[in-house]
Chains A and B, each alone.
Chain A
Amino acid sequence: MIEISNLSKCYGEYKALKDISLSMQRGSIYGLLGPNGAGKTTLISSLVGLHTFDSGTIRVEGQNIKEHLAYIQSISSLIPQELAFYPTLTAAENLEYFAGMLGLKGGALKSRIDEVIYLTQLSDAYSKEAQTYSGGLKRRLNIAIGLLSDPKIIYLDEPTVGIDPQSRNFILESIKKMKDDNRLIVYTSHYMNEVEFLCDKIAIIDHGKIIQEGNLNTILAKAKATVKTSHEVLEVDIELLSDTLARLTKDGQKVESIEYGHNLENYFLKMTDKKLRD
Chain B
Amino acid sequence: MKLFYALKKEFIILFRNKSAVLSLFLMPAIFILIMSLAQKDIYKEYTHANITYVIINQDKGEKSLTFIDALKTYENLTFTIKNDLDEAQKSTKEGKYKFTLRISPDFSEQFYKITAKNLIDIYMSPATKAPVKLYFQSKMIEKIMTLKMKKMLDSMTMYDERVKASSPTDMLHTHYLYDNDNKSDIPTATQQNVPAWIVFSMFFVIIPISTLFIIERDDGTLARLKTMNSPKSIFVISKIIPYMLINQLQLYSMILVGYFIVPLLGGDRLSLDINFAALFVISLAISFAAIGFALFLSTLMKSIEQASVVGALSAVIMGAVGGIMIPKLVMPPLMQEMTLLSPMSWALEGMLDVFVRELGVVDVLYEASVLVIFAIITLAIAIHYYKRK
Contacts and interface: CB of A to CB of B under 8 A. Distances in A.
A188 interface: no
16 contacts: A49-B227, A73-B227, A76-B227, A78-B223, A80-B220, A85-B219, A89-B12, A89-B13, A93-B12, A96-B5, A96-B8, A97-B6, A100-B6, A101-B228, A101-B230, A103-B1
- Secondary structure at the B interface, as helix, strand, loop or mixed, is helix
Nearest to B235: A101
Nearest to A102: B228
Contacts, number: 77
Contacts of A88: 12-13, 16-17
A97 B229 contact: no
Size range of the interface on B? 20 to 34
B2 A86 contact: no
Given A88-B16, A96-B8, A97-B5, 6 more contacts: A76-B227, A81-B220, A83-B220, A89-B12, A102-B230, A129-B16
Nearest to B234: A101
Interface of A: 45, 48-50, 69-70, 73-74, 76-78, 80-86, 88-89, 93, 96-103, 105, 129, 145, 149
Contacts of B224: 78, 80, 84, 98, 145
A80 B224 CA distance: 8
Interface in B306-338: none
A89 B220 contact: no
Given A74-B229, A88-B16, A93-B12, A101 B2 contact: yes
Contacts of A81: 220
Interface string B19-30: 000000000000
Contacts of A82: 218-220
Contact of B219 (A77, A84, A99, A129): A84
A101 B225 contact: yes
Interface in B1-58: 1-2, 4-6, 8-9, 12-13, 16-17
Contacts of B230: 101-102
B221 interface: yes
B226 interface: yes
Contacts of B16: 88-89, 129
B181 to A, nearest CB: 54
Contact of A73 (B2, B9, B17, B228): B228
Interface string B210-247: 00000000111101111111100010000000000000
Given A88-B13, A88-B17, A98 B220 contact: no
B216 to A, nearest CB: 8
Contact of B13 (A45, A48, A86, A149): A86
B361 to A, nearest CB: 37
Contacts of A103: 1-2
Given A86-B9, A96-B5, A97-B5, A70 B229 contact: yes
Contact of A97 (B8, B218, B220, B227): B8
Nearest to B225: A101
Residue from A45, A84, A149 whose CB has the most chain B CB atoms within 10 Å: A84
User: Which are the 8 A-B pairs with shortest beta-carbon distances?
Assistant: A100-B5, A84-B220, A82-B220, A80-B220, A97-B9, A101-B230, A84-B224, A48-B227
